Amino acid sequence: MTTAIAEILEGFEFLEDWEDRYRYVIELGRELEPLNDDERIEENRVHGCVSQVWLSKVIQNNTEKGPILFYKGDSDAHIVRGLVAIVLAQYSGVPAKEILETDIESIFSKIGLKEHLTPQRSNGLSSMVQRIKNDASAALS
């Protein structure tokens, strides 16, 4: 994914209306690299999401930074796919240690995301983040 989290945050700053922000989230989801069918497996499915969500990871070991986690993701729901894009913009290609230190909740608060999601989508978003943090912990152990 080429859109960095800073660019996404900047995009949200220019959009005041939540209808426009939802369209922006959907557009971010359209930019995701599609998952292959062999990546849409139970092992990659994120539990706790009402929609179907998959996160496929590759871990590369770096002698200086430790394990670095790279993700691809997808969902069967447009807005959720956009949420996947936001999460991956923050976490994909990042060292495991940095993933564990990142407070993505502050990013969500900054753009007002949690206040404008249904409780089910908010829970799904938390499940995605927790899955990535669990992967980072496992990569470090």
How is the chain split into domains, by residue range?
Answer: 5-140
Is 49 part of the annotated catalytic residue set?
Answer: yes
pTM: 0.90
Decide if 84 contacts 128 (C-beta within 8 A): yes
Q: Please give the structure tokens belonging to residue 113.
A: 């995301």
Decide if 1 contacts 89 (C-beta within 8 A): yes
pLDDT of 116-137, one tens digit each?
887 788 888 889 999 999 999 9
- What's the CATH code, domain 5-140? 3.90.1010.10
pLDDT of 24-81, one tens digit each?
999 999 999 889 999 999 999 998 878 899 999 999 998 889 999 999 999 999 999 9
Write down the pLDDT at residue 107.
83
Residue 103 phi/psi, 5° resolution?
A: -100, 85
Catalytic residue among 28, 32, 46, 49: 49
Write down the pLDDT at residue 3.
52
Decide if 56 contacts 41 (C-beta within 8 A): no
Number of H helices, E strands in the chain: 6, 3
